[in-house]
């Protein structure tokens, strides 16, 4: 299968995106990069709990947006273009109180002015937790 990435990329290459971001705050880490997907995980602990002690839906969407946005950026020549999120949605399917949630992001559309990614978030037993979709605008950098 042909890779969708602008240039070859390894998991270690994504560490530069984390410092001083929500990714760092929530301890989201990229765990795998395939030819057409990006996978990462986030711990479910008090930082991401809602008042009933379960994973907050907004935290699931933070993971989804992180993975979809990072995936989109990695398909571009970053010296010439960047992406901005336009819309995100999520269907929350299962409560999680501890452990990790694992998200897998795959593109539905990689266009010259927009991208649409789907993110499947599962628990450690591979049960669905949240299904999300993000739309991103692709913009040119000014010279």
Active site positions, annotated: 65
DSSP 4-55: -SSS---GGGGGGG-TTSHHHHTT-EEEEE-SS-EEEEEEESGGGB-TTSSB
Q: Give the CA distances from residue 100 to residues 25, 28, 44, 88, 134, in Å, rounded to whole numbers and listed in that order.
A: 15, 10, 5, 22, 22
Give the pair of three-digit tokens for residue 118. 């789907």
User: What CA–CA distance (Å, rounded) separates 111 from 104?
Assistant: 20
């Amino acid at each position: 299968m042909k890779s969708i990435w602008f240039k070859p990329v390894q998991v270690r290459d994504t560490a530069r995106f984390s410092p001083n971001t929500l990714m760092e705050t929530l301890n989201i880490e990229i765990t795998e990069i395939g030819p057409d997907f990006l996978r990462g995980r986030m711990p479910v602990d008090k930082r991401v709990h809602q008042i009933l002690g379960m994973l907050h839906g907004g935290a699931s969407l933070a993971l989804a947006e992180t993975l979809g946005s990072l995936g989109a950026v990695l398909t571009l020549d970053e010296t010439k273009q960047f992406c901005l999120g336009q819309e995100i949605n999520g269907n929350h399917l299962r409560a999680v109180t501890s452990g990790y949630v694992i998200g897998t992001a795959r593109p539905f559309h990689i266009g010259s002015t927009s991208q649409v990614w789907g993110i499947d978030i599962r628990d450690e037993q591979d049960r669905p937790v949240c299904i999300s979709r993000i739309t991103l605008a692709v913009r040119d950098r000014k010279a």
